[in-house]
Structure 1
Amino acid sequence: MERAPLVSIIMPVYNAAPFLRSAVADVLGQTVRDFELLLIDDGSTDGSAELCRELAAADARVRAYHQPNAGICAARNCGLERMRGRWFTFCDDDDRLLPTALETLLTAVREQGTDAARTGYRLLRQNAAGKPVELPHPPGRARRLSADSTGTEYLAFLQDSGPQFVWNALYSTEKFGSLRFDPNCRNGLEDFVFNAAFYACRPTVAYLPDVTYEHLERRGSTSACADPAAVLARLQTVPRWVEGEYAAVCAWCSDRERGSVWASRCAEVIAFAMHQMRDSRMPPGQARAAWRMLYAVLAPYPYTVLDFWSVLRQNKKKAAVLLLFRTHLQGLYGFLPNREEKLLR
């Protein structure tokens, strides 16, 4: 019987012919060699399927699968169902997995005895001229989330480890191999929904600020698209995200901690919505519909008008976001500083 690899790397592929060969080369250049790369072609029409087969034929660690177009979540789930590694991670078809990524992640889980690990990443976005521009974000301090961590420590871990993407993380297959992406998330937020379910399991996780991944948001991609219709479609996933976030908060927090931790996670969701709507220059009618939806989604969950006060000690901008939302003055968000817009000019 063929020996199972140490790590499974799942790469969904969709119309990525110009970038795929480079992305795969970065994976194959890892300092840790004991892995399999699963290329999941999601109904590409640009020759990517043929390229997947070619790359699989050239290296025994690469396996190619094909499915009718069903979205990134279905493609990742296809990989999760076929992976054989003791650990698993993800890579997008136009990104860079830096050479020591697997080595750094594996060292973290071994030395700290955790079920998963997260690292820092570099985020780039194409400006109007098509040039990649780095959007800097300060790395948090190294953290360890353990079985006896408090809700306050859980929140500190999330704040230091940054937005919860899946491509800068390593997960134990034994503990989390049964998790799946929600196939209804076809317009973004799928990583946040997946990781909310992950944290609701009370995992042990290590975070290191070392950069191991480079993510490029190309103009027109799902994550970078600022078209109002695309943003509205993306916001339809918010109910699943909120449900998962609240389940995770309840899993980690005592009754005394729950209010302040949940206020902070609410601020995260609301800030995301405000940011997306501002950047898309959403027409007033659509914006009002989006806000009605968000108020309805958050209404069943506990809150107070003054919950922004508990967030103020952690993040002043998030506290301002929560205050504007609770007082129905969210339109004023556009007057807050927008560092990204300046960088992308």
Structure 2
Amino acid sequence: MTEELVSIIVPVYNMGNSLEVCVDSLLKQKYSNIEIVLVDDGSSDNSLEVCYKLQKRDSRIQVYHTENRGSGPARNTGIEKATGRYIYFPDADDKLEEDAIGILVDAMENGRYDLVVFGYQSIDAKGNVVLKKQYPDMKRNGDDVRQDYSDYVVSTRRYGIQGAPWNKFFDLNVIRKHSIRYPSLRRHQDEGFISRYMCYVKNIHFIKAILYNHYLNDLKKEWDKYPVDYVDAVIGLYKTRKETILTWNEKDRRTKEIVEHEYICNMIKAFELSYSPKMKLSGRNRLKWIRKQIERSQVLKVVMPLSLGRYQKIIFTLLKKRHINLAILIMHIKIIIEKNGGLDAFRRLQ
């Protein structure tokens, strides 16, 4: 029996120091019928040079260079170049277990599934495993999942599907047939892609195996990941949710509440990011900017979900009552406490 070709798409942006470790874990796969598509997203370090160096080591590696547009458009370039039957999207600073691709192909073909979801572990900068995410071995019909998506929409839930693409194995035929692409957002593009893919999934295979090692960034790097146009990403994701998830079953109130909870929390995060040095906002300009984003996003028209944490409830209530200056003050205090390592007090309010 002929082994199906698997396309592995790796978006690369300023990953010169870690890319080789990631690609080595791909080249060591026991399932050898793979193509590795490295898409350099306009890196300013030596990432492109590392890509070409790796390409010389193995004929299965392809390298493409694009202007910097974000990981979503970079993955879209990979989709266009891919020639496989199945497609997988790891991050450039993570590692895959050696038997992963073989296990995933078997899981996909044992019933002709459209999506395989698998376990992963998160590892901190000291090499400590701080999280293990495992799914029960189970199979689900796509229509059943869409009718009550509340158990699947949040990545931290037992069956959470939404989130990063690196613990999911996709069918490239489904992507091509329905012209599914990552939205051109600087954040939340993964959730947008998965929401659209889930519209067409006929069946899903969850497997228990932990096959992916996700390496966590420190707080500063996480802060840097948020772009100055983060509000655009939040609004774009909410729009996608309304066009996909919220159309599957109008009676599914739990999923609607989760999506609205997510929207409010993401908008509050966007307001907090007005203190990022990249924004370069003075106090008066920050107030003007937040007012403008409130108007543009229409977030205050969302009914406050009961599930919101106390901190988010306080901020959202103050914004609704137009006490914007007080909300800004509380957000600023939170940011100062976080920067000084005092996270526990605010985590208890989440």
TM interval, shorter chain, is 0.7 to 0.9
Pick one of 244, 266, 270 that aligns with 2:240. Answer: 244
The alignment's TM-score, normalised by the length of structure 1, stands at 0.75
Matches within 5 A, 1:1-345: 6-126=5-125, 131=126, 134-136=129-131, 139-149=134-144, 151=146, 153-158=148-153, 159=157, 160-161=159-160, 163-177=162-176, 178-183=179-184, 185-186=185-186, 188-219=187-218, 224-226=221-223, 230=226, 232-253=228-249, 255-257=250-252, 259-274=253-268, 286=286, 289-290=289-290, 293=293, 297=297, 299=299, 304-305=303-304, 307-308=305-306, 318=308, 324=314, 327-328=317-318
Deviations 1:109-168 (A, max 9, x none): 223432111222223454xxxx45544265454454423315453222333225521111
Partners of 2:91 and 2:5 in 1: CA distance: 20
Give the CA deviation at 1:80: 0.7
Q: State the percentage of identical aligned residues.
A: 21
AA paired with 1:153? Answer: D
The alignment's TM-score, normalised by the length of structure 2, stands at 0.74
Partners of 1:274 and 1:142 in 2: CA distance: 36
Tell me how many residue pairs correspond in the alignment: 319
Partners of 1:338 and 1:38 in 2: CA distance: 39
Give the CA deviation at 1:87: 0.6
AA paired with 2:238? Answer: V
Task: Please list every run of 5 or more consecutive structure 1 residues that lacks an aligned counterpart in the other structure.
Answer: 313-317
Partners of 1:138 and 1:276 in 2: CA distance: 28
Partners of 2:318 and 2:138 in 1: CA distance: 36
Give the CA deviation at 1:172: 0.7
Stretch of structure 1 that moved more, 8-17 or 152-161: 152-161
Task: Please list every run of 5 or more consecutive structure 2 residues that lacks an aligned counterpart in the other structure.
Answer: 321-326
Partners of 2:163 and 2:313 in 1: CA distance: 24
Give the SS at the match of 2:182: coil
AA paired with 2:88? Answer: T
Partners of 2:343 and 2:109 in 1: CA distance: 40
Contact 2:264 2:299 in 1 (8 A): no
Structure 1 293/206 Cα, relative in aligned 2: closer, same or farther at 3 Å?
farther
Give the SS at the match of 2:210: strand
Partners of 2:271 and 2:132 in 1: CA distance: 21
Give the CA deviation at 1:326: 5.9
Contact 2:87 2:169 in 1 (8 A): yes
What is the Cα-based RMSD across aligned positions, in Å?
3.8
Partners of 2:316 and 2:270 in 1: CA distance: 18
AA paired with 1:98? Answer: E
Give the SS at the match of 2:143: coil
